[in-house]
Amino acid sequence: MPSHADALAEVPLFSLLDAHERAILAEQVDTVQVSKGELVFSYGEPGDSMYVVCSGVVEIFFKNDTGDRIVLETARCGDFFGEISLLDGGPRTASALVVEDLEALMIDRGDLDELLKLQPHSALDMLAATGKRLRESSRLLRHTASRNVNKEHEDNRTRVMRVADWISDFSGSLPFLFIHLGVFFVWIVLNVAPLVHTEIGGFDPFPFGLLTMAVSLEAIFLSVFVLLSQNRQAERERVRNDIEFDINLKAELQIHQMHEKVDQLHEDLLDRLARLDRKFGVSQAPKPT
């Protein structure tokens, strides 16, 4: 099966094998095809095989306690997945969803035994790949902890939103107030007696129509920027509420786990006391005469 052997040659895990060894291994593996949108396997299912992607794309993901979908890896041509359950024989630790039509080689435990007989050093490559995935999982899990809502929004702001936030913040500050007081004072003084008839005055006599128009336009533009900023603030509050919900849910789950541990300890204690009572009762029982 030269096509299988060529596919195995592209996988770093099997790169140590020579052409003859890959050909022997290729004769034992099976080919599976899975359509887009289907699951190769689901979390918790028993697993005794791993997969090598020949074509297509597969997302390896799981859902945490709060229901968030966390993608651990996106497997493409030449990548492999499902090796953890193959190694320890336990249930699947994640789910595999086909994003693009998949064609893959399925290697079971018997095929793996044959591989390790041919090239024992490939076990180190598999351990390295597994360690890399565990590191990525740890990194993702660290980021699922409590988040800073301000950082969440600061990192995603566009240039327009940054300008809107700056204008909104500045329009509510004391410097903004003092600047306008100064401008209005100078404007009004230059357009009333006695400076209204001088060269520098009289450009907007009472009732100050130009000043009224300028203030109205400024109010319109400021209201738009303030509304944009308020919309962002509302979205920020929604994210904050989501984060608080996640924190409360995690706390409830931890309390539930603590209750389970306490109940288990209580049962173990009662069982141990019962055994001691039986042992004590037997040791103190009168001997028959």
CATH number of the domain encompassing residue 99: 2.60.120.10
Residue for token pair 């209580």: 266
Q: Give, in degrees to the nearest 5, the angle at Cα 249 between 246 and 253.
A: 135
Residues 113, 39 share a domain: yes
Residues 101, 57 share a domain: yes
pLDDT of 65 reads: 62
Residue for token pair 């096509």: 3
Assigned domain for 283 exists: no
pLDDT of 57 reads: 92
pLDDT of 1 reads: 39
Those residues with Cβ within 8 angstroms of residue 129's Cβ, 6 or more apart along the chain or in another chain: 12, 13, 80, 83
pLDDT of 58 reads: 93
Domain boundary among 143, 165, 197: 143
In terms of C-beta density within 10 A (0-12 exposed, 13-18 middle, 19 or more buried), how is residue 222 classed? middle
Residues 211, 106 share a domain: no
The first and second tokens of residue 200, run together, are: 């520098």
Residue 91's beta-bridge partner residues? Answer: 46
Residues 168, 126 share a domain: no
Q: Give, in degrees to the nearest 5, the angle at Cα 284 between 278 and 285.
A: 85
Assigned domain for 257 exists: yes
Peptide bond into 175 cis (omega under 30): no
Compute CA 263 distance to the chain's CA centroid, rounded to the nearest angstrom: 33
- Average pLDDT per 10 consecutive residues for the chain, totaling 289 residues: 65 66 77 90 84 89 72 83 76 88 86 74 68 66 54 64 80 85 87 78 80 86 81 75 73 73 77 78 53
pLDDT of 173 reads: 82
Residues 135, 174 share a domain: no
CB 256 within 8 A of CB 263: no
Domain boundary among 123, 143, 163: 143
Question: Measured between alpha carbons, how far is 282 from 104 in angstroms, rounded to an integer?
Answer: 64
Residues 216, 164 share a domain: yes
Assigned domain for 281 exists: no
pTM above 0.75, yes or no: no
Assigned domain for 288 exists: no
Nearest to 58 by CA among 30, 36, 84: 36
Residues 136, 186 share a domain: no
Domain boundary among 143, 164, 186: 143
Range of the domain at 258: 150-276
Residues 134, 229 share a domain: no
